[in-house]
Amino acid sequence: MDGNAPNRAFAHRHLLGIEGLSADDIIYLLDLADSYFEFNRRPDKKLDVLRGRTVMNLFFEDSTRTRTSFELAGKRLGGDVINMSVRDSSIKKGETLIDTAMTLNAMNPDVLIVRHPDSGAVELLSQKVACSVINGGDGSHEHPTQALLDALTIRRRKGRLKGLLVAICGDVLHSRVGRSNIHLLNIMGARVRVVGPPTLLPPEIERMGVEVHHDMEGGLADCDIVMMLRLQTERMHGIFVPSVREYFHFFGLDYAKLAAARPDALIMHPGPVNRGAEIDTEVADDITRSVIPEQVEAGVAVRMACLEAITRNPSTEFDGAAS
Amino acid sequence: MTAAKKLPPEFAADHQARSGPDLPRARTAEARVASAARTAYINARLLDPASGLDAPGALLTEGAEIADLGPGLFADGVPEGIETVDCGAHCLAPGLVDMRVQLREPGEEHKETIMTAGRAAAAGGVTTMVCLPNTTPVIDDAALVEFVIARGRKAGGANVYPYAAVTQGLEGKRMTEMGLLHAAGAVAFTDGTKAVADALVMRRALSYASTFDLLIVQHPEEPSLAAGGHMNEGEISTRLGLVGIPAAAEVIMIERDIRLVELTGARYHVAHISTAEGVDAVRRAKARGLPVTCDTAPHYFGLNETAVGEYRTFAKLSPPLRAERDRQAIVEGIKDGTIDAIASDHAPQDQESKRLPFAQAAPGIIGLETLLPLILELHHNGHLTLADLVRRVTSAPADLLGLEGGALRKGGPADLVLFDPDRPWKIDAKRFLSKSKNSPFDGRPVQGQALRTAVGGRTVFVRED
């Protein structure tokens, strides 16, 4: 694998968000992930890149796919991966996020992968530990590996990111996936639209460099990529849309609405899919248009790349040892 | 740099005997006799916004009162037997009256006590603290009003006057015994950090308070619009993925209340105003002659929402730090007199309440020790004269609340601050005397510092360096 990886350093100790990364950083990670994408299709999937390293999945919020994806990535690279679900244990005993961080830090892990329901919590935790931290999703803030796997999927299909027109549709307000994608696509020179009712779009979102649309037809017109977001009902503090039925009628992706996009437009979704809420079942399963399974596949490759990049960063080793 | 000197023994000894007030307006004759020591403050720049005095001169305190003052006083020297303080031509002004302080006692003594807040106040030149009723238990009963006053007197750092709650338990439902609470010493009424949300309850509270000409102080935020919010709504909250509180939540509450003031004729005060629209609503109400007043706090003209940066919980406040245009409007409001007073909004929080993800962290900033230098920024930036500024932290709040301090007046309380308005220093949280250290102003270079503070004629603070 070494020979395939670009010979540039990824000079970040943590991966807390896409905001703050350069185009070169992103290309570095995507190139590395590309090689792992192919590697993962081989029968023998074991490497020793992370041999001797301990990776901890620290999830303060329920997750199956992201945690599994990181676990697989760590194991395929030869690392020791441990899963911790803190949701039901320490927090109820009154232990704070910082306490948990300090406790785990004392066990000398090399990488912590953290998911937390509060925006900014992963960054706060990263300030208190000596190891590298990868953000596995914090509140409505960022989910950098999801944006990277989306970018890898797009790049593999379209050959580029620059100049593509991408529509991000649905619950952008609560979506860390949406925010990370907006950052990444802007950094890489794509054009980004957000589409949804104003109740599901964050205030002043246009200042993040997106065009705002409130109707699917206008928002999807001439798009190369239609990125659907999950309607995260469990996050709703109140009533943002009148009903799932009404939402689907106006904002759910079906063939009629998809017709506005380019004929070769790809359909993406970070999963898990709410069939009949934000996307029609047939559209989601349309193998000529939907790349949803490919996104999952890219996820493992991207997470392998991130784990390798972070642990290879020379400053990580010194920082980790010193502090 | 900001170390407090130990009190002179003669003062430290008489903590118990100090002339604290029984009632807001009353100081007892016994107390006056008990400590009839005289102190001459010579070579001072006498600064008294209430009377318009700003001239070199001297001041004499006798016991707890100001016995004399003026440009010609002690022109022929100070008679023997009077302690003399050379003011070094610095400003001698009425001690600051801080009309919005959270003392955390009773109930959260791990964050602050009346004693520690009193020390912080003294170091900041604050001689009167008016404290919010959001303690545990809530100050909604006459016995608790008396408890806080008694504790304040015992602590001996600064005068303590409590607000009492507008509604029982701050629950926003049933009125407190405002008349009896006032008789016990509550200076005004507020539900503290919570708005009185129900329009009918607010109408009745205003209406009933007008019976006794009492002031109702509102936390200006429509709670349903602010629910779940953690910072100002806008581009930054969107980037950080934090639920925002729209600026409109403030003006909606203020404008509703102004209608209720029209209906009831009651005196109404908006606490820590933070938005351009809010200031404008108060400005228009005043122009129509309504009994509406407001205050703000240094963070609302000294910082804006960018202070939140990357989830800095020390910049989490309620109401939240606003946009730059709001900050500028607050400065304008102070300049044109729409904003009557400035309070520190002192809200101590311990580490455990702040070292958390932003959404879980408690709001608040401490301010007793930074109130003076931060308001002086407005002077150094050429926005207001020194007298105009000092008025907002002395006679203006004293007048609003019917307190007798806040002025240099013969026979008035000898609550004094000697300060150098130009002295440069750097705010250093490690040196705060307050029990909590939550200040986003830590490290900020400022100008102006209290050098000496006296409460009721007693020196409670002398700066060492």
- Alpha carbons A178 and B4: distance in angstroms, whole number: 53
DSSP H or E run through A194: strand A191-195
Q: Which of A98, A118, A176 sits opposite B358 (nearest CB)?
A: A118
- pLDDT of residue A23 exceeding 90: yes
B227: nearest CA partner in chain A = A237
For residue B8, what pLDDT is reported? 43
- Alpha carbons A242 and A221: distance in angstroms, whole number: 26
Question: CA quadruple B192, B194, B200, B202: dihedral positive or negative?
Answer: positive
Rounded to a whole number of angstroms, the CA Rg of chain B reads 21
Average pLDDT for B295-314: 97
**What are the b/e assignments for A286-310, b being 16+ CB within 10 Å?**
eeebbbbebbbbbbbbbbbbbbbbb
Active site residues of B: 345
Distance of residue B443 Cα from the nearest chain A Cα, in angstroms:
20
Q: How many CB atoms lie within 10 A of CB A38?
A: 10
User: At A93, is the pLDDT very low, low, confident or very high (cuts 50, 70, 90)?
Assistant: low
Q: What is the pLDDT of residues B121-133, one digit of tens each?
A: 999 999 999 999 9
Q: What is the pLDDT of residues B415-454, one digit of tens each?
A: 999 999 999 999 999 999 999 999 999 999 999 999 999 9
Which residues does B contribute to its contact with A (CB < 8 Å)? Answer: 227-228, 233-235, 237-244, 246, 310-311, 352, 355-360
- pLDDT of residue B374 exceeding 70: yes
Average pLDDT for A174-189: 97
Report CB contact under 8 Å: A96, B241: no
A183: nearest CA partner in chain B = B239
Q: What is the pLDDT of residues A131-154, one digit of tens each?
A: 999 999 999 999 999 999 999 999
**Could you report the predicted ipTM of this complex, rounded to two decimals?**
0.89
For residue B318, what pLDDT is reported? 97
Contacts of B1 (CB under 8 A, 6+ apart): B425, B426, B428, B431, B465
Distance of residue A124 Cα from the nearest chain B Cα, in angstroms:
7
For residue A234, what pLDDT is reported? 58
* Chain B interface includes A119 (CB < 8 A): yes
Torsions phi, psi for A13 (to 5 deg): -80, -35
* Chain B interface includes A308 (CB < 8 A): no
Report CB contact under 8 Å: B234, A19: no
Q: What is the pLDDT of residues B157-186, one digit of tens each?
A: 899 999 999 999 999 999 999 999 999 999
Q: What is the pLDDT of residues B54-102, one digit of tens each?
A: 999 999 999 999 999 999 999 899 998 899 999 999 999 999 999 999 9
Helix H, strand E, coil C: the string for chain B is: CCCECCCCHHHHCCCCCCCCCCECCECCHHHHHHCCCEEEEEEEEEEECCCCEEEEEEEEEECCEEEEEECCCCCCCCCCCCEEEECCCCEEEECEEEEEECCCCCCCCCCCCHHHHHHHHHHHCEEEEEECCCCCCCCCCHHHHHHHHHHHHHHCCCEEEECECCEHHHCCCCECCHHHHHHHCCCCEECCCCCCCCHHHHHHHHHHHHHHCCEEEECCCCHHHHCCCCEECCHHHHHHCCCEECCHHHHHHHHHHHHHHHHHCCEEEECCCCCHHHHHHHHHHHHCCCCEEEEECHHHHHCCHHHHCCCCHHHCCCCCCCCHHHHHHHHHHHHCCCCCEECCCECCCCHHHHCCCCCCCCCCECCCCCHHHHHHHHHHCCCCCHHHHHHHCCHHHHHHHCCCCCCCCCCCECCEEEEEEEEEEECCHHHCCCCCCCCCCCCCEEEEEEEEEEECCEEEEEECC
Distance of residue A136 Cα from the nearest chain B Cα, in angstroms:
15
User: At A92, is the pLDDT very low, low, confident or very high (cuts 50, 70, 90)?
Assistant: low
Average pLDDT, chain A: 90
- pLDDT of residue B14 exceeding 80: no
- pLDDT of residue B401 exceeding 80: yes
B406, amino acid identity: G
**In degrees to the nearest 10, what's the CA dihedral of A313, A319, A321, A322?**
160
User: Hey, of B306, B310, B312, which one would you mutate to test binding to chain A, going by the most A CBs within 10 A of its CB?
Assistant: B310
Task: Determine the distance from the C-alpha atom of residue A233 to the mean position of all C-alpha atoms in its chain, rounded to a whole number.
Answer: 19
**What are the b/e assignments for A142-155, b being 16+ CB within 10 Å?**
bbbbbbbbbbbbbb
Q: Is B222 exposed, middle or buried (0-12, 13-18, 19+ CB in 10 A)?
A: buried
Contacts of B355 in chain A (CB under 8 A): 96, 98, 124
User: Hey, of B231, B236, B239, which one would you mutate to test binding to chain A, going by the most A CBs within 10 A of its CB?
Assistant: B239
For residue A231, what pLDDT is reported? 86
Task: Determine the distance from the C-alpha atom of residue A250 to the mean position of all C-alpha atoms in its chain, rounded to a whole number.
Answer: 26
For residue B145, what pLDDT is reported? 97
User: At A319, is the pLDDT very low, low, confident or very high (cuts 50, 70, 90)?
Assistant: very low
